[in-house]
Amino acid sequence: MKFFVDTAELDDIKDLAATGLLDGVTTNPSLIAKSGREFVPLIKEICEIVDGPVSAEVAATDYPTMRKEAEILRKIADHVAVKVPLTPDGLKLCKELSDDGTMVNVTLCFSAAQALLAAKAGAAFISPFVGRLDDISHDGLDLIADIVRIYDNYEYFDTEVLVASVRNPLHIVESAKMGAHVATCPPSVIRQLYNHPLTDKGLAAFVKDWEKTGQSIL
Ligand code: E4P
* 89 Cβ closer than 6 Å to some ligand 1 atom: no
The model's pLDDT over 147-178, given as tens digits with 9 standing for 90+, comes to 999 999 999 999 999 999 999 999 999 999 99
Strand boundaries in the chain, DSSP class E:
2-6, 24-26, 54-57, 80-85, 103-109, 125-128, 160-163, 182-185
The pLDDT of residue 200 is 98
Task: Choose the catalytic residue: 34, 83, 177, 208.
Answer: 83
Walk along the chain (218 residues) and give the pLDDT tens digit of each residue: 999 999 999 999 999 999 999 999 999 999 999 999 999 999 999 999 999 999 999 999 999 999 999 999 999 999 999 999 999 999 999 999 999 999 999 999 999 999 999 999 999 999 999 999 999 999 999 999 999 999 999 999 999 999 999 999 999 999 999 999 999 999 999 999 999 999 999 999 999 999 999 999 99
> Among 2, 6, 34, which residue has the most ligand 1 atoms within 8 Å of its CB, making it the best to mutate?
6
* 132 Cβ closer than 6 Å to some ligand 1 atom: yes
Which has the closest alpha carbon to 27: 47, 19, 130? 47
Q: Give the C-alpha separation, 133 to 128, whole Å.
A: 9
The pLDDT of residue 120 is 98
Q: Give nearest CA residue, ligand 1 atom 1.
A: 164
Q: Give nearest CA residue, ligand 1 atom 5.
A: 165
* Three-state DSSP state, 165: coil
The pLDDT of residue 85 is 98
The pLDDT of residue 109 is 98
Q: Give nearest CA residue, ligand 1 atom 11.
A: 165
The pLDDT of residue 169 is 98
Please give the distance, rounded to the nearest whole angstrom, from the Cα atom of residue 107 to the centre of ligand 1. 9
Q: Give nearest CA residue, ligand 1 atom 9.
A: 165
Q: Give the C-alpha separation, 7 to 12, whole Å.
A: 8
Q: What is the β-pairing status of strands 125-128 and 103-109?
A: parallel
Q: Which domains does the chain have, with CATH numbers?
A: 2-193 (3.20.20.70)
Please give the distance, rounded to the nearest whole angstrom, from the Cα atom of residue 165 to the centre of ligand 1. 4
- The answer to whether residue 177 is catalytic is no
Q: Are 93 and 84 in contact (CB under 8 A)?
A: yes
